Amino acid sequence: MPAYVVFMRDEMVDPVEFDQYAAKVDASFEGHEVKPLADYGTIETLEGEEIDGAVILEFRDMDAARAWYRSSAYQTTAQHRFKGARYRGFIVEGLPAEE
């Protein structure tokens, strides 16, 4: 079943660090099958606290999503995101494809 990595940006704290993250993150996808579904587009908050931005990435399954997130390429790059903004993130398993 597909899996989705979802990042919700709550607050930008250091734009310079975040710009370094943005410049390097695409390279972390090398060797991983990933399909970006949303990347900081327009947000309409329906419930809860407003967020500053959101990213949704689709992977073939939970293991593939974990492999990318835990990879040294991403974790090295993510250090800039951690310094640049406050985020919440999670992986959620999707529904099986309809046949």
Q: Which ranges of the chain have pLDDT less than 70?
A: 99
Which sequence spans correspond to the domains of the chain?
3-89
Amino acid type, 25: V
Question: Could you tell me how far CA 55 lies from the centroid of its own chain?
Answer: 5
3-state secondary structure 10-52: EEECCHHHHHHHHHHHHHHHCCCCCEEEEECCCCCCCCCCCCC
* Fold classified for 3-89: Alpha-Beta Plaits (3.30.70)
What confidence score (pLDDT) does residue 7 get? 98
> Residue 9 corresponds to which tokens in the numbers above?
């940006």
Report pLDDT for 98: 78
